Chain A
Amino acid sequence: MVEPGVQGVSDLAATLPPGPARVRRSVPGFALLPVPALVLVGIGLILPLGLIARYSLAEFDPADIALQGLTAGNYLKFFGDPFYREVLGRTLAVAAGSTAACLLLGVPAAYAISRARSARLRSALLLLAIVPLLMGNAVRALGWMVLLSERGIVNQALTGLGLADAPVRLMYTPLAVTLSLVAVLLPFMVLTLQSVFDSISPVYEDAAATMGAPPWAAFRHVFLPLAMPGLFSGSLLVFILGMNAYASPVLLGGPAFHMMAPMVYEQAVEAFNWPFASALAFVLMAATLVLTVLSSRVLQKRYGRL
């Protein structure tokens, strides 16, 4: 008698918004709990950010790296030079492409994990999704190099099977960078999606089915709109990580393939041009931020509050 009641309540709860009725317990010192994290963020993020902001407006003197002058020249240099604009465009394209690929691959995978019938299968799939995270980006990029290089396994297989006469150029292509990025970022997408999918009761899909919706229609008209917040946060996470990718473009893109994050490093560490490196960093951040806000606005209009 208890079981169906509980089920009913939880189903009902799924349709209710997390209202203000939730009572917060007042514990002495409760307000102090976030202070350590705030201090860390304050010292480790806000302060350097302020410094970079200032540096990005400084004048560059190769003979003297001390902070000097006040100019918009670094930004003018960036937006005035088609080379740099192209780097930003490429970075955006790679990040967006990786995000799209992660969505395309991640949604079915996360759905399968979330709706797996047996608990054992579910844990096994979840573990598989996490395994790639056990390796660092650089190690993984190295692995892709072994696979994709001129005498790598893929080319050996292609020529061995007679599918190609000469080794195909795979390394140092946008495809290689995107491939390795997708491999790095997919676990983040799958894990984010899976946790959101789990919170969507299968009863909605059952209801759709009894009303005449074949599985695909139920997925498209009922499940996907409910999963939109998850799709958005997963995409956001992957997009931001993609925008700031470093190891993959450096190791698999080669010296001629420029993306923003490696370029910040080059300017700061190799050219010692801190002002321009700072400006690059700010452009990268601003681009990410603007796109994030814009996309959430558009999605909110379409699907309500995310």
Chain B
Amino acid sequence: MSSIALTEVTKIYGGQATVDRLDLKVREAEFLAFLGPSGCGKSTTLRMIAGLAIPDGGHIRFGARDVTRLPPYQRNAGLVFQGYALFPNMTVAENVAFGLKMRKVGKPETAERVARALDLVQLGHLADRLPRQLSGGQQQRVALARAVVYNPEALLLDEPLSALDAKLRGEVRSELRRLQRRLGLTTVFVTHDQDEALAIADRIVVMSAGRIEQTGTPGEIYATPANRFVAEFLGMSNFLPGRREGPGRFRLATGELLGYGCEGARAGGHALAIRPENIRLLPGRGAEADGHSLSARIEEVVYRGSLVEYRLSLGGGTLTVHRRNADHDPAERFEPGETVTACWRAPSTILI
């Protein structure tokens, strides 16, 4: 295992920088997720780490080794492709043995290591099947076994769960995470699914248009997004437009003066962001509340199982509020048309 360091890595396609001077360090045994919309450069970055694309500028290092110009077959990285790319003409065992065969590992040792890798993903009993005889989840696990069997310096995963159905995805995700911890693999995971990134990664790198928007633990990124892009891409946020009027003071476009908890690292200062679950609703106009409050009207109530989503209108804008749908106070249930007071505590708002 080794760390992976990217310095000023750039890739240009058709005159445009798909990846633009990217600086990043993946620590040893860390699980790092690249998160971003399609076309943000996350897959290209992964392909450059694997050696399937050569950067137009910058350097990539595995530990102390500069691999920038090395072809993929000399890098010793394991890559799990989006569609798995299992060789359809080879059995499960032959697929897993491929990397060892290329490394000229002897027959008895190969057999033993293949068996161990398959046991690791609980597929020992399917060694002689062909990929097309397996379910999607099983294929995914073969792809994983195939990528880790030769002890790669880095495990690279390109949207490995996207072809699975939602229920299976959660299971495979936990299994993947357990395996990664157990083997201590330095792992880079590419996804456009924020839930996946939040659930699995030690750190998340949010990308857009070839650049890093923010790097941090899932908690950091969710609680204190650096800018509006991150706040919008990860989870839901309400944005209250206005302008900053000195430290800790924000004047809404509608005139009210509000406080806020912190400033995003790359804030523009033109809006306050607040998560829907951080807003409480009280019946009636101008209800007494600690922190800030605004009067609003319930426009729509959407039942979403574990939570109820309220859409409110206030002074020209809208506000989305999530309330837990546990056996909470019936006084907190509201109907469309009701006037309510939306309130929150200043520390849960961020200047964006």
- Residue pair A210, B51 in contact (C-beta under 8 Å): yes
**A10 CA / B162 CA spacing, docked (Å):** 13
- Residue pair A225, B38 in contact (C-beta under 8 Å): no
- Residue pair B132, A222 in contact (C-beta under 8 Å): no
- Residue pair A7, B83 in contact (C-beta under 8 Å): yes
Q: What residues on A are CB-neighbors of B52 within 8 Å?
A: 206, 209-210
**A1 CA / B192 CA spacing, docked (Å):** 7
- Residue pair A4, B159 in contact (C-beta under 8 Å): yes
Q: Interface readout for B32-47 with A: 1 if CB under 8 Å, 0 if not? A: 0000011100010000
Taking the closest CB of chain B, its distance from the CB of A56, in whole angstroms, is: 43
Q: What residues on B are CB-neighbors of A17 within 8 Å?
A: 132
B residues 75-92 touching A (CB-CB < 8 Å): 75-79, 81-89
Q: What residues on B are CB-neighbors of A4 within 8 Å?
A: 38, 43, 82, 159, 162, 192
Of B37, B131, B162, chain A has the most CB atoms within 10 Å of the CB of: B162
A130 within 8 A of B: no
User: Looking at the complex, which of B98-106, B247-255, B274-282, B285-293 is the stretch in contact with chain A?
Assistant: B98-106
- Residue pair B102, A207 in contact (C-beta under 8 Å): no
B241 within 8 A of A: no
Interface residues in A, total, Cβ within 8 A: 35
User: Looking at the complex, which of A42-50, A87-95, A132-140, A212-220 is the stretch in contact with chain B?
Assistant: A212-220
From A5, A7, A210, A304, contact of B79 by CB (8 A) = A210
- Residue pair A11, B102 in contact (C-beta under 8 Å): no
B residues 140-197 touching A (CB-CB < 8 Å): 146-147, 150, 156, 159, 162-163, 192
Taking the closest CB of chain B, its distance from the CB of A227, in whole angstroms, is: 10
Interface size bucket, B side? Answer: 35 or more
A residues 1-45 touching B (CB-CB < 8 Å): 1-5, 7-12, 14-17
Taking the closest CB of chain B, its distance from the CB of A206, in whole angstroms, is: 5
Of B98, B136, B147, chain A has the most CB atoms within 10 Å of the CB of: B98
From A7, A12, A211, contact of B99 by CB (8 A) = A211
B146: nearest chain-A partner, CB-CB = A211
From A5, A204, A212, A304, contact of B85 by CB (8 A) = A204
- Residue pair A208, B89 in contact (C-beta under 8 Å): no
Taking the closest CB of chain A, its distance from the CB of B99, in whole angstroms, is: 4
A-B contact pairs, 16 of them (CB 8 A): A1-B192, A3-B38, A4-B43, A10-B83, A11-B82, A14-B83, A203-B83, A206-B72, A206-B79, A206-B85, A208-B87, A209-B73, A210-B51, A210-B75, A210-B79, A221-B101
A residues bordering B, Cβ < 8 Å? 1-5, 7-12, 14-17, 201, 203-204, 206-214, 217-218, 221-222, 225-226, 303-304
B residues bordering A, Cβ < 8 Å? 37-39, 43, 50-52, 71-73, 75-79, 81-89, 98-99, 101-103, 131-132, 136, 139, 146-147, 150, 156, 159, 162-163, 192
A-B contact sample (12 more), CB < 8 A, given A208-B102, A218-B73: A11-B82, A12-B163, A16-B132, A203-B83, A204-B85, A206-B79, A213-B73, A213-B98, A214-B71, A214-B73, A221-B98, A226-B89
